[in-house]
C-alpha cells in the first residue's frame, strides 16, 4: 500500500547524488515530495476516519455511545459568476396589484370650517383575509307522483355530489398539505378552530382518494405534453419511503414542466419505462444529468452538468499551502472558463466553438504540480463528450439546476411526512407535486387550479394545453 502511494523516484532518492545546481530537477523533486506528503496526509485522514467509525460501531455493540458528530463550519464557496451590482431598491406601490373586494366610505370628523368643500376620496387599501365557515344547507325539492308511485328529487350541484365537503375546503386542504407542507393533524386542528367538523381520516381521503383519477390524468397529460414540446429534459432522483421500504423519487423536467415518479429502484430499465422507451430505444432530445451510470445511453444526446463537475474540484481539500494556492488559482481559471462557455451559448459560432475547445484542452493538459487535481482533470477529460454537448446544442443549459431545484420539494416533504403508506398516497404525491411545480413554472394559481379540479368544473385552461397549444 505504501509503495503505491510513494513513487519509485522518492523511494530511491539519494541526497548525496542530487545536483542542487539543476534548479529544474530540484523543483521537480520538491513537487514530488509535496505530492507524497499530500497523499500520506489524505490517506492518514481516511484511515483515522475509518478507525473512529469502527470504534463507534464497537462502542454501540457494547451498549455505549460513539463519538458525537459535530459538523465543521461550512467553507465559503465562490459563485460561478460574479453577482451583478445592485442598482438600488425602492419600495413600489402595491395598490394597483391588490384586488379590492369591497369598499367602505369613511367620513371626516365634524364640525368642519364653513368654507370646506368635498375635494376627493383618498384611497387606502388594507389587505385582510376571512377564515370562517361557509356551510350551505341545500333544500332539495322533492315531488311525488301517486299515479307512478315515484319521487322526483332535485340534484345537488355537481361540485358537492357524493361528499360532505365543498370544493373550496378540499382545495384549501390540498394546498395546505402539498404546497404549505402542513401535516394532516395540523390541518385537522386548523379546521377544528375554524369550525369545520372533519376527521383526520376524511382529510386523508381528500388528499389521496377524492378525484384521484382526474389528478392522475392531469399529471400524465402534463408529462406527455411536456415531453412533446421540450427541446431538452433534465432528470435527477432522491430517496423516498413507500410502505416502509426505500424507494426513489425521480424527477423529469424542463423550464416549463415538472413530473415526479416514485419507483422502487433507479435502474436504467426503470427510467426507460418512465420515458416509455423500448429496450433499444433512446430519447431524441438532449438529456442533462449528473454522472450517475443509470443515465448512460438513455438519450442519443447525453449531456453532463458542469455544476456537478465543478463540485468535484471544490471538494478537493489539500493539506499543504502550496497545493491550496494551486487549487485556488485553478478554480479562478475554471470559473473564467465557465463564463466563456456561457458567452458562447449567447453567441454560438464556429470560431468561438474552436476557442472553447482550445481553452478546455489548455485547462486540462496544463501541468499543475498537484497530483489530486491532475487525477480529477483526467476524469473530466474522459467525460468531455458529454460535457461539451452544448457546443453543438447551444440552447441547452450548462447545468442540471432545474431538476436539482425540483428535487428539493420531495426532500423537504419526506422530512416532514417521512413517506407514503398506500398506492393512492404515493400517486397523490406524484400527481399533486407535478401539478404544483408545473403551475409555478407556467404562472398558474395552484389553489385556483386545484379548486377547478375538485369542483369538477374544469373551466380553466389545462396545463397540458398551455404546454402544447393547438
H helix and E strand count, the chain: 17, 7
Residue 354: the pLDDT is 97
Cα separation of 242 and 413, whole Å?
13
Q: Quickly state the pLDDT bin for 2 (edges 50, 70, 90).
A: very low
Residue 52: the pLDDT is 84
CA atoms within 13 A on the CB side of 73: 3
**DSSP per position, 309-325:** HHHHHHT---SSHHHHH
Instruction: Name the pTM for this structure.
Output: 0.82
pLDDT in tens, 372-404: 999 999 999 999 999 999 999 999 999 999 999
Query: 289 has which bridge partners?
Result: 304
Cα separation of 357 and 340, whole Å?
11
pLDDT in tens, 303-315: 999 999 999 999 9
How would you class 161 by CB atoms within 10 Å of its CB: exposed for 0-12, middle for 13-18, buried for 19 or more? exposed
**DSSP per position, 42-66:** HHHHHHHHHHHHHHHHHHHHTT---
pLDDT in tens, 263-321: 999 999 999 999 999 999 999 999 999 999 999 999 999 999 999 999 999 999 898 89
Q: How many residues does the chain have?
A: 470
What does the pLDDT average to over 206-233? 97
Please give the angle made by the CA atoms of 410, 413 and 415, to the nearest 5 degrees: 110
What does the pLDDT average to over 125-133? 91
Amino acid at each position: 500500500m505504501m509503495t503505491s502511494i510513494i513513487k519509485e523516484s522518492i523511494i530511491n532518492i539519494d541526497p548525496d547524488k542530487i545536483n542542487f545546481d539543476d534548479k529544474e530537477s530540484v523543483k521537480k523533486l520538491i513537487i514530488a515530495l509535496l505530492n507524497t506528503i499530500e497523499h500520506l496526509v489524505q490517506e492518514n485522514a481516511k484511515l483515522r476516519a475509518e478507525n473512529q467509525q469502527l470504534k463507534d460501531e464497537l462502542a454501540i455493540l457494547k451498549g455505549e455511545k460513539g463519538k458525537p458528530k459535530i459538523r465543521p463550519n461550512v467553507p465559503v464557496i465562490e459563485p460561478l459568476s460574479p453577482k451583478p451590482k445592485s442598482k438600488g431598491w425602492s419600495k413600489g406601490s402595491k395598490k394597483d396589484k391588490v384586488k379590492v373586494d369591497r369598499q367602505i366610505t369613511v367620513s371626516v370628523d365634524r364640525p368642519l370650517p364653513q368654507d370646506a368643500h368635498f375635494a376627493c376620496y383618498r384611497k387606502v387599501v388594507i389587505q385582510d383575509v376571512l377564515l370562517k365557515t361557509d356551510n350551505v344547507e341545500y333544500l332539495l325539492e322533492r315531488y311525488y307522483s301517486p299515479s307512478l308511485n315515484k319521487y322526483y328529487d332535485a340534484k345537488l350541484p355537481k361540485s358537492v355530489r357524493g361528499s360532505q365537503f365543498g370544493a373550496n375546503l378540499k382545495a384549501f386542504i390540498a394546498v395546505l398539505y402539498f404546497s404549505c407542507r402542513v401535516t394532516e393533524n395540523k390541518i385537522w386542528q386548523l379546521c377544528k378552530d375554524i369550525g369545520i367538523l372533519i376527521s383526520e381520516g376524511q382529510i386523508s381521503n381528500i388528499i389521496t382518494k377524492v378525484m384521484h383519477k382526474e389528478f392522475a390524468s392531469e399529471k400524465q397529460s402534463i408529462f406527455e405534453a411536456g415531453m412533446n414540446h421540450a427541446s431538452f429534459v433534465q432528470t435527477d432522483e432522491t430517496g423516498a419511503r413507500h410502505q416502509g421500504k426505500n424507494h426513489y423519487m425521480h424527477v423529469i423536467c424542463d423550464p416549463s414542466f415538472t413530473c415526479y415518479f416514485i419507483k422502487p429502484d433507479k435502474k436504467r430499465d426503470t427510467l426507460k419505462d418512465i420515458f416509455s422507451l423500448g429496450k433499444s430505444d433512446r430519447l431524441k432530445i438532449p438529456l442533462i444529468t449528473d454522472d450517475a451510470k443509470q443515465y448512460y445511453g438513455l438519450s442519443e444526446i447525453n449531456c453532463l452538468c458542469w455544476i456537478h463537475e465543478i463540485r468535484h474540484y471544490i471538494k478537493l481539500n489539500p493539506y499543504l499551502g502550496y497545493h491550496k494556492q494551486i487549487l485556488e488559482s485553478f478554480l479562478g481559471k475554471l470559473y473564467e472558463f465557465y463564463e466563456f462557455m456561457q458567452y458562447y451559448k449567447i453567441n454560438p459560432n464556429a470560431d468561438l466553438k474552436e476557442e472553447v475547445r482550445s481553452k478546455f484542452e489548455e485547462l486540462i493538459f496544463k501541468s499543475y504540480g498537484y497530483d489530486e487535481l491532475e487525477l480529477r482533470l483526467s476524469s473530466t477529460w474522459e467525460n468531455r463528450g458529454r460535457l461539451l454537448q452544448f457546443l453543438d446544442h447551444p440552447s441547452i443549459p450548462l447545468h442540471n439546476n432545474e431538476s436539482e431545484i425540483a428535487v428539493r420539494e420531495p426532500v423537504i416533504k419526506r422530512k416532514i411526512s417521512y413517506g407514503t403508506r398506500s398506492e393512492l398516497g404515493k400517486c397523490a404525491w406524484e400527481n399533486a407535486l407535478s401539478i404544483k411545480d408545473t403551475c409555478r413554472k407556467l404562472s398558474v394559481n395552484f389553489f385556483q387550479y386545484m379548486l377547478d379540479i375538485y369542483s369538477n368544473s374544469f373551466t380553466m385552461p389545462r396545463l397540458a394545453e398551455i404546454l402544447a397549444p393547438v
